[in-house]
Every structure is written in C-alpha cells, then in structure tokens.
Structure 1
C-alpha cells in the first residue's frame, strides 16, 4: 500500500477499479429466505411500491406469486412488463424479456426467482446472468431467492431435507449484491401458514408438512440462512478493509486445494472446499490427476470432467489437470502443493481396502509425511470401505 504525501494510504488499483465499476452500475438487492413462503416476494413488492409512491420509475420484469393471494395483492400499482414468448420443442414458454427491460430502462426492475434456468433459445442460460446484464446497464434490480439455491450448499441441503435442488446460483452472486436482506419466519409460524393454505394449494399441504416443511428441516435451513448472512457481513467487512487499506486481513496466506476424481463425491468435495476457502477469504484450487491421458477417456468420463470444471468455474476456483508423466498420483499432488504454496488439502475418503493400502501405500499418508505445514481434511463419502 503506497503512502500519499499527507500520510494517507493510496487505494489499491484493483479496489479503485472495483469502486468505479460499482458507481456506474445499478444497485442490486437480494431478498433471501430459508424456505418458500417466508415472505421474500411479498416484502420485495411492498418495498418497491413504496419507491413507486415516491415518484421513482419501478417496474416488474418478472414476478412469481405462486397463486398466493397476499403476494398478488402486493403488486398494487406496479406496472408489469410483458413476457417474451420462446418456442422450444414445439411448445411456447414465457420468459422474462431481457431486451425489453434494457430498452425500457426503468430506474428499478423487480426480477423474482433469481436461480431460474432460462428456456433454451434465451440469450443467457441463467436468470442471474440476465440480472448482471441489467445491472451493467445502470438499472437497479430487486430480486429474491431461497438459501437452498446456493451452489455450495447443494449437498448439505440434500442431506438435511432429502431434496435435490436443481436450480442453483454460484455463491459469488451474494458478493455482487449491494444489499442482502434476510426474510426470517420461525418454523412454527411457517408451518401454520402452510396449513392455512397461504403457501401451497390444499392438495399439497399434507405432503409438504411431512417432507420439506418438517420442523427439523426448517430449523436446519433457517440456521443455514442465518449463518450465510453472517458470513456475508464478514465478507463485506473484509472487502471494506481491503479497499480502504486497513491492515489485519485474515486468511490472505491460506490456499485451499481440493483433489477430485470422477466419482459422485467430486462435487461434494468441491463445495466443501469452497466453504472453507470462503470463510478464510482465500484462494481455492481444484486438482484432477488422471491415471491416463484425457484424450483416452470415454465420453461419460469426459462429460464428468466438464461438469467438474464448470462447477469449479461457477465457484470462482482455479481448475487444474496434472498429468502423471511417470509419477505416482501422490507425488503429482505433492509437487503441485509445493509449486502453488497450498496450505490445506481436501481429499475424499479412499476407496481402497485396508489390505490394498498396506500393499500399495496410502496416498493420504504419503502426502502427510512428505509435506510441511500443510493440513489435510478427509471427507467421508458415507460408504463402508471395510472388508
């Protein structure tokens, strides 16, 4: 950090560019909740109606009321922009009209269901990518999503609730937001609203109460949401300290490495590594050490490798493939660790039997014995590997 003649610290050039970019783009606010029905869209609409009454140009680009009368009533006087019709496989689908919003150029636009995947034929694959374009045009955006749609929480949510969340957004979308507001409703009140038919239609109530809306599930999701928002506050504080040259940044010297193969555990390992790197505010590396050249892979393995690389990209991690070149896998990992200055390694539980590890040697033990000042985290896969 350079010093100015008057003794003040000069801002980091990257921080200055970041500030300039922020000043020229739209304001982005996300309303986030632990579950459907907590009141995210309701609150967002109410706040935007207040802005409308103040004389600001506010429109609805897309809203999902899910048939909830209370939410529909909150639309009030807000103008709703027409949807765009897209034809796909002989059917017509209604999607948000990105070009229409950019041409209309309102001061504020409401764009609900941030994690939505657009119909093929749309300009962008995901709705959050549409939002980023709108923000770059200088338009303020209000949006909403549930905590279970964050990419790094996908495995955790599935383990807690038994529900596989298909629609997801990368975690960094929260750091793109200028403001994140948690809409918190106690589980007991949420279940009562469900019983009253205020969230789903009557035929879905009983099933929902026994599955996703179990009290234990809702408590766990609520805790995840509260923790995520607490982490978001910490993240914003660290960015503020960095941009203003305040000393004492934590985690700057840490580097996390996740070693993955092509099994179902790969995504879970990557998300676990991202959670660690996010909390430490440090770099994340994803490493694959193939046992044969990539061009010899079958199509299924190539597809899996592309999925792993895309997930790493979505989470802002560096993805690397380290060819063996006559080395053992453990040696390739160790040399990568030494070359990049890794301080923590995340590995999946070995699928080898105890006898195989005795005969062939344990990769984990070799890494531990041949690296210094490197912590190793072993993530269990839930399968019994004992003979």
Structure 2
C-alpha cells in the first residue's frame, strides 16, 4: 500500500532551504544603557574564541567604557567602512567585508542603530539580516525601549521619544534572547561612579532618563517582554511534543461569572489576585444552551453588561461563550488558555436541583485537576 504525503512546492522548498542556510541570531537585551549588555556579549565571545570558534567583532560601541574595552581581549575586529556625509567622514559597519571574511559568528553592537545616509541599508538590523542570510551567526545588543510596539509606552513613562526603533519581529524570530538585568539602584550607582557617562552628564541623567521610577518601569517591561517570548516558545514545544498538562510557568487567572449580582465580588477578587501576581486575567460567562437552562431576562442582560464593564475597567479580558455544559466549556477554555487559577462562586442551586442536575463547581473541580480553583461564598460583601 503506497503512503501519501504532501510534496513541498518549489517556493516552499526554496524557503525551507533558506531557513536551513540562515545563521542564528542571539540578542542581549537590557532595560537601559549601562546594564552590561556589550560587556556580557564580549565576555561570552572570548570564552567561545578560547574554545576555538571563529568569532569576530563586526561593530562595537564601547562608549569609551574601560571595563567594556578590556573585554575585547584577543578578538579580531573587522575594519569599518568610511562614508562621507555633509563633508564629514563617518564610520559604519562594513557588511560586505564581514560577509567576505565569513566568520562562524560576528558580534554587532546596537541593533537599532540608524546608518549614515549613503549606506546600502538604512538600519543596522537590515545589515544583520543580510549577514544572517549568508549563513553567518550574529550576536547583537538591544535596549528594550527600541522595540517599535513599546515606543508610546516608553515616551509616556520617561518623557523621551525614542527615534531609533526596530520591528518586534526581529526579537520574536531571534534564536536566543538573553536578558541582562541589574537592579535600578545598582544601575544608578554605576552611573554615579562614572561607568556609563562622563561626569558632567551624570546629574542631568539622574534627573531625567535614569530616575528610579523610570528604571523600575523599564525593567519590568523588559522582564515581561522576554517572559512572553519564553512562554510562546514553551507553548510551541508542548504542541510539538503533544504535552497537554499545564506547567504553571506563568500565572493566569480566570473568573467565572453569571448575571448574578454576586459576580462583581468575584471580579474584584480576580483583579486583586491578578495584581498580586502581575499577570493577565480573563472574565468568562457561559450562555448555556441546555433545554432546562434558565432563560436570560432583560434585567439579566443589563446586569451582565455591567459586570463586563467593571471587568474591563479593572483590566480584564472579557469572554462570552455559548455551550451546552457550563462546566465543560469552562474547563475546555481554561485548558486552551493555560489558566492556573480559577475563581468561581459557590453553587446557588437547591439540594433538589443539585441532585437532578449536579453542581457546576463539583464538575469543574473534576475536569480541572491541575488548576487551583477558588470557590467564593455567594454574598455581596
């Protein structure tokens, strides 16, 4: 018996070949200048060089920091290209020279850099894409504020408009992302010690970009952003390996509501738990299609809309589902969304209703054995 399989089209085969040929991209990410991205990149490169890897510096911006320059060690540096612009000779990374040299790996600092007008590519990340397409691995650095999707948030936090940005997909498609993290207080101490900027710029920097509140907010953004990347990679891994269990890597809260007035209490409880864990949360209502299910009245619909409005105001995602079994729909949704904690009100069914129809809470507990379920008393306090 002949087995059937789907052949790749010529275009698909070519795309697959290009992916196999492409070099690997590793990015060191930080939340502010001076956290140690370039230092860490050089330190790692020297270790790899000592083990025999052909690894070179394609572009390095040390900002005259002695501790960074000391990490260059024995690494070879590819000469920069000189470009004249407005009668001034400026230096840029020589992409052609790097490709001609064909090292196994090249270090390219400051991924979000904008090239001098007259360069082949407008942005450095485009140079990096060209180098990767030649099968050369690239290690680079980036501050989180340069991601395009975060531009408005960074401006709101710091008051600074970041002009140089890169598409988020560059980081999303990177083979490895390493977060370089130090506490904001430690970073301020490095700044005061003259390790980041010249002494004449320190006082102004502490009053502006390097304010403690700014640094705390940017640090949280960086950690959350990379946590999301890791979470997506984990989901892909679990799908590829047929793993359905919830590994509880990141907390996710689901609040189960109905038109009942007590649902507001559940929503507020969910908001507090989500705030505690700084995690995403979702408020879910199930419209039951069971024959004997209680029909929604106009008052019920109005009350439910009020619950949805409160949930959105408190930062929740709102989902309205339809299904025959409320418990089964809730369990299925919780599994699909990798929920780790469920909040539900205590059953309001009478003893006879429970005997005849069962309990939603009891069924849900049986269907979600790997999820924490918080059963909240039904009062309005």
User: Which bracket does the TM-score occupy, shorter chain normalised?
Assistant: 0.5 to 0.7
Q: Please, which runs of 5 or more residues in structure 2 have no aligned partner?
A: 246-279, 281-319, 322-381
In 2, Cα distance between the equivalents of 1:174 and 1:11? 31
Aligned to 1:261: none
Number of aligned positions between the proteins = 246
**Kept after mapping to 2: 8 A contact 1:12/1:243:** no
2:39 is aligned with 1:42: yes
2:216 is aligned with 1:211: no
Residues 268-287 of structure 1 mapped to structure 2, 5 A cutoff: none
In 2, Cα distance between the equivalents of 1:43 and 1:230? 20
2:187 is aligned with 1:190: yes
Cα 1:12–1:205, aligned 2, differ >3 Å: closer, same or farther? farther
**Kept after mapping to 2: 8 A contact 1:11/1:243:** no
Cα 1:89–1:246, aligned 2, differ >3 Å: closer, same or farther? farther
In 1, Cα distance between the equivalents of 2:68 and 2:119? 28
Report Cα offsets for 1:38-69 as digits up to 9, x if no partner. Answer: 00000000000011101111110000011111
Aligned to 1:231: 228
Residues 71-82 of structure 1 mapped to structure 2, 5 A cutoff: 71-82=68-79
Aligned to 1:25: 22
Report Cα offsets for 1:65-90 as digits up to 9, x if no partner. Answer: 11111001001111111100111122
Match of 1:178 among 175, 179, 194: 175
Cα 1:24–1:39, aligned 2, differ >3 Å: closer, same or farther? same
In 1, Cα distance between the equivalents of 2:181 and 2:118? 36
Q: Secondary structure at the match of 1:172?
A: helix
Match of 2:50 among 26, 49, 53: 53
Report Cα offsets for 1:184-227 as digits up to 9, x if no partner. Answer: 01000000010000111000001111111110000000000001
In 1, Cα distance between the equivalents of 2:197 and 2:8? 50
Instruction: Give the RMSD, CA atoms, in angstroms.
Output: 3.0
Residues 94-173 of structure 1 mapped to structure 2, 5 A cutoff: 94-173=91-170
> Which protein shows a greater Rg?
2
1:35 CA drift (Å):
0.3
In 2, Cα distance between the equivalents of 1:20 and 1:245? 27
| TM-score between both structures, scaled by the size of structure 2 | 0.60
Report Cα offsets for 1:231-265 as digits up to 9, x if no partner. Answer: 111222344456678789xxxxxxxxxxxxxxxxx
| TM-score between both structures, scaled by the size of structure 1 | 0.59
In 2, Cα distance between the equivalents of 1:235 and 1:12? 26
